[in-house]
């Protein structure tokens, strides 16, 4: 049985039941909108993390390229 990182020991029947409950709660028309919103949020988060990583690596590169001053 496949183990997901955050789902523990959920099998196919449990996942199907969860999907049916979500379908009943939100309806078929709202689910694509919800997924689209979640996708945009994840993309925005990844872009933010990448921007921070780029800033850190560029500042490290600047520190490594500075000439050292010796007296």
For 56-60, which contacts have Cβ atoms below 8 Å and span 24 or more sequence positions? none
Domain positions in the chain: 28-63
Rounded Cα distance, 25 and 67, in Å: 62
Of the pLDDT bands very low, low, confident and very high (cuts 50, 70, 90), residue 71 is low
- Torsional class of 67: left (φ above 0), alpha (ψ -120 to 50), beta (otherwise): beta
Q: What is the per-residue pLDDT across 2-56, written as a single tens digit (0 to 9) for each? A: 555 565 777 888 888 988 898 888 888 888 888 899 999 999 999 999 999 988 8
Of the pLDDT bands very low, low, confident and very high (cuts 50, 70, 90), residue 70 is low
Eight-class DSSP state of 68: P
Q: What is the pTM of this model?
A: 0.53
Of the pLDDT bands very low, low, confident and very high (cuts 50, 70, 90), residue 1 is very low
At 9, give phi and psi (nearest 5°): -100, 40
């Amino acid at each position: 049985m496949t183990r997901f990182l955050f789902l523990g020991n959920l099998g196919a029947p449990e996942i199907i039941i969860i999907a049916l409950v979500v379908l009943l709660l939100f309806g078929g028309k709202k689910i694509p909108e919800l997924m689209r919103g979640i996708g945009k949020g994840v993309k925005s988060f990844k872009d933010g993390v990448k921007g921070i990583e780029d800033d850190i690596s560029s500042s490290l590169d600047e520190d490594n390229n500075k000439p050292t001053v010796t007296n």
